[in-house]
A and B are shown apart, each in its own frame.
Chain A
Amino acid sequence: MEGWVQALGDGAVTVSFGTEVTEAAVCAVDALRLSLERWPLAGMEELVPSYTSLTVFFDPDRVFLSRGGRAYSTASAWVSEALRERMARLNGEGGAGEGPLLEIPVCYEGACAPDIDFVAAHTGLSVEEVIGLHLGSTYRVYLIGFVPGFPYMGLTDRRLAVPRRVEPRLRVAPGSVGLAGRQTGIYPLWTPGGWQLIGRTPVRLLDVGGDPVCLIRAGMRVCFRRIGLEEYETLSV
């Protein structure tokens, strides 16, 4: 798949693979990310993957020093050209797509699921059907954003599509599992939030002292396992 390279200021370039979240675009982002993680470009600092784009942050001074006589007008042009070369070499190798699978326990009961009745009413499903559909898919992690460690995952079953809350909550508890559009996500820390909350996980997503810092990373796959309130309480301790 053809990637389109554009500057994001003088310290980053973005490669985008279209504006539709297709399997091909998501795989192209993954393949380029994996390749750059393994064989970084000179002067590259960090990568930020998103749905259909990958942004490469670089240090222009280090790029400048590393060019070794190759004539490009700017560090940004050199990084852009190096990315085009890399993509040309990757062409045909879909390669990625099957990231590591993570199972997250979720309690869909009581105070853990404040919006589940709204979701049922909005979709015309029963609460049990909502839970069943949420459990029924394996989701791809498109990106981590909004706040540290928040995974944007999809796609949920077409029948589970819901709008965001009209009035976002001022405080959403860590571990809350939400729905928005055809995506599902998990709040890693106390934050305002507008997603419809249908469950809560006792698993800690963000551990500043830990390695990795975030349990869920872009490119992973996630499925959910249903737990009761009792198990939720036990695992929360």
Chain B
Amino acid sequence: MMGLRIVKTGFSMSLQDAGRRGYRSQGVPLSGAADMDAYRMANLLCGNRAGVPAVEITLHGGVMVAELSLCLAHVGGGSRLHVNGTLVPKGRLVRVDAGSLLSFVPDRLGCRSYLSVVGGFRARMDLGSGSTYAPAGLGGLSGRYLCSGDLLEPMDACPSASARLREGFSEGINGWGAARWGLVTPVLSEGGQYRLRILPGPEWGLFPASVRDLMLGGVYRVTKDADRMGLRLSGPSLAGGMGGEMLSGAVCPGTVQVTQGGLPMLLLADAQTVGGYLRVANVFSADLPVCGQLRPGDELVFVMGGMAEAEVAHRERERRFRYWTSALGLRFEG
């Protein structure tokens, strides 16, 4: 067996895909890539069909060895990819020679990046998805986060797509070459502050106007209490005399809960399916990928939007991906 051998995982790494659908009534979270846009872009660059597993790399510090020649793509924040000591551009298809050393060095912005190979990585499919959900041991490699020594195998051992693309790569230096085309990856934050558009949550109306104004006028900071389940934020307290708890009801990635102390918690991909805290708001689904890029210390503001605006944002995002899919698809036919 040959593939990408993990030498060091750095902060953390796991295999993720488009998520596990259809089991939320049984308490099984959606999971999947926390930044679905970056994940989808990495797969598109590799010419993969939608939904194949990729490695989600949180922050930096990871090191891997390519035991065979591979074509891969790296998209997202939190780290930059060095192959044999030189920086590889993000958002490009890259051919890497056998024996190359891949290291993920710090990036200024963002939290999570995605590494995809042509054909996608092999993952255990549980309940229709290869996404790792460690608390229940689902998906990924044996249902857990990746460890040093793990071997990541491409599903397609002899990727025909890479053969067809070979002449499209720049001259190899340091054991790698990049395709001359790619995707321009989005700028993560303007002016150092993230802007999350929200819709009123089911319990929005239970908060007094003064408290709602605090939420919309305040600047929140991501605390160290941040993982794939959610991010605890610090900033203006939303307690305002509220009880803070209710009969449990459904929550989902993007739900902003207000915990007992009055501080908001923004739920991410591995969010549990039901929760007992007041749901003050939900982030636009089009802004969820940005949430996956928030790291401790980042500042953000909430901006109230409307449902029509949220749905337009969602449709525009999907239209962009449809356009990219057909545009990049052409690269794989030549």
A residues near B, CB below 8 A?
Answer: 6-12, 14, 16, 19, 21, 45-53, 55, 57, 60-61, 64, 73-77, 143-150, 152, 189, 191, 206, 208, 212-214, 217-218
B21 touches A45 (CB 8 A): yes
Quick one: closest B residue to A214, CB to CB?
B26
Within the complex, the shortest CB–CB distance from A97 to chain B, in Å, comes to 18
Q: Considering the complex of A and B, which 5 residue pairs feature the smallest CB-CB distances, nearest first? A: A9-B282, A55-B250, A145-B274, A10-B310, A48-B250
A10 touches B307 (CB 8 A): yes
B247 touches A50 (CB 8 A): yes
Chain A residues near B188 (CB, 8 Å)?
none
What are 25 sample pairs from A and B whose C-beta atoms fall under 8 A apart? Answer: A6-B202, A7-B199, A8-B250, A8-B252, A8-B255, A8-B282, A9-B282, A9-B283, A9-B285, A10-B314, A19-B247, A46-B23, A48-B24, A50-B247, A51-B247, A52-B247, A53-B250, A57-B252, A76-B311, A145-B27, A148-B26, A148-B29, A148-B138, A206-B136, A213-B23
The 8 Å CB contact of B27, one of A10, A61, A148, is: A148
B246 touches A74 (CB 8 A): no
Quick one: closest A residue to B286, CB to CB?
A10
A19 to B273, CA, bound (A): 19
Chain A residues near B210 (CB, 8 Å)?
none
Chain B residues near A145 (CB, 8 Å)?
27, 248, 272-274
Quick one: closest B residue to A14, CB to CB?
B202
A-B contact count (CB 8 A): 139
A11 touches B138 (CB 8 A): no
A81 to B285, CA, bound (A): 21
* A73 with B318, Cβ < 8 A, contacts A50-B248, A55-B250, A145-B274 known: no
From 234 to 252 in chain B, residues with beta carbon under 8 angstroms from any chain A beta carbon are 246-252
B177 within 8 A of A: no
Chain A residues near B318 (CB, 8 Å)?
61
B221 within 8 A of A: no
A213 touches B274 (CB 8 A): no
A133 to B249, CA, bound (A): 28
| 16 more CB-based (< 8 A) A-B contacts, given A9-B199, A148-B136, A217-B25 | A9-B254, A9-B285, A10-B199, A10-B310, A16-B202, A47-B25, A48-B25, A50-B247, A51-B249, A53-B249, A53-B250, A73-B307, A143-B274, A145-B272, A146-B272, A212-B26
B97 within 8 A of A: no
* A213 with B28, Cβ < 8 A, contacts A61-B318, A208-B126, A208-B127 known: yes
**In which size bucket is the chain B interface?**
35 or more
Contact with A along B81-106 (1 / 0, CB 8 A): 00000000000000000000000000
B residues near A, CB below 8 A?
Answer: 21-29, 126-127, 135-138, 199-202, 246-252, 254-255, 272-274, 279, 282-285, 307-308, 310-311, 314-315, 318
A49 touches B25 (CB 8 A): yes
Within the complex, the shortest CB–CB distance from B129 to chain A, in Å, comes to 11
Output the residue of B27, B202, B246, B274 with the most chain A CB within 10 A: B27
The 8 Å CB contact of A50, one of B138, B249, B314, is: B249
Chain B residues near A149 (CB, 8 Å)?
26-27
Chain B residues near A208 (CB, 8 Å)?
126-127, 136-138
Within the complex, the shortest CB–CB distance from A74 to chain B, in Å, comes to 5
